[in-house]
Structures are given as C-alpha cells and as structure tokens.
Chain A
C-alpha cells in the first residue's frame, strides 16, 4: 500500500523563524491534506491540496503530485503554532480512509 513519510520528525524554532515541513508519498495521489494537532488532541484542517500551491495567512502549502511530495511552510512562527503536523492521503477503494505520515512535532519557543 501507499507509504507516507514526513520529515523532520521534530523541530524546535524560536518565535519569528520560518520553517518547511515535508511529506513524501510512495504512489500517485489525487488528494492530500495537512492537519495540525493541537495540544488537546484535535486535528485541525490546514489545507486540502492535491496539487499546486495554497496560502492561508502565515501558512502555505505546495504539492507536486508528479514528484510525489508536499511541503508546508510556516512563516514568522508563533508559540501557538506548536503541536504536531500531519499529512495524509485518502485511499479511494476504502471509503477515503486516510493514510497518515508519522507527523512532525513542532515546538516554538518564545
């Protein structure tokens, strides 16, 4: 089955720094989502990005489907950005079951 790998596994930043998180996937996909898991455990939708680039405030994401990777950019990081970031791809013949990467744990220090 499809494999999803994220890097780096963890990241420590000073407030105000920029960062790039990477998601590689082993097979072609028609969809990809980025999530932020907050300290209370909820997965918050960041981007639904099967291809191309999207921006939402200080966050942006780019997926290059032909090269099987996606990038999440966080600019001018804030302490509230801390948490775990997941990318996930759906499996179409299993009702859209998501295959998750292992996550990147981000810690932003004041």
Chain B
C-alpha cells in the first residue's frame, strides 16, 4: 500500500514564526498536493507539484510557499505564521489520478 507520511500530527506555533510542514511518499508518485481543511469551507488546495522543483499555485496560495527538492518529499512553508493559518493540513500524492492522503497535521498558531 502507498504510504504518505506527514511529519507531525499536532503542532503549535507562535505568530510570526516560520513553519515547515513535511510530507513524504514512498511510491515514486509524480504529483503531490497540499490542502487545508476548515469547518464550513471544506478542503481547499494550497499548492501542488507535478515533478521535482516544479510547483503550481492552487486556490489559496497566499501566505504559503512550497519546496520539492526530491521526488518523495513535498514541504509546505508558512513564511510568517498567522492565526488565520490555524487549520488542518493534508498532504496527498497521486498516480493515475488516484490520490492517497497522509494522516494530517493539525496546526494551531497562537
């Protein structure tokens, strides 16, 4: 089975901190995604990547950046965390349009 692993399940950070959320997949998938999930707003795409060093903005990229230096790893970066970025973050990888998700990271910015 495909395994997608996110580095932390729960994270608490202070406003203004630089935050790194890491995601690793073990199946050599080309496409990887970062979503955030908020009550009443559903799941929204932040960024995606279709190859190493390639990235595309999703629906809500503001305040975020990403890095994909190796195929298996896709990092989400909050340059200066704000309370509005308190959310559930979900990473996914996909092959042939079939997606697999990590366990999620619940981030709280205080």
Contact = CB atoms under 8 A, between A and B. Distances in A.
B74 interface: no
Contact of A95 (B56, B98, B102, B104): B56
Interface string B96-108: 0111111110100
Contacts of A43: 90, 92, 101, 104
A42 B102 contact: yes
Interface of A: 30-31, 33, 35, 40-45, 48, 86, 88, 90, 92, 94-98, 100, 102-103
Contacts of B98: 31, 33, 45, 48
Nearest to B100: A45
A31 B94 CA distance: 13
11 contacts: A40-B104, A41-B103, A42-B103, A43-B90, A45-B99, A48-B98, A86-B43, A88-B99, A95-B31, A95-B49, A97-B48
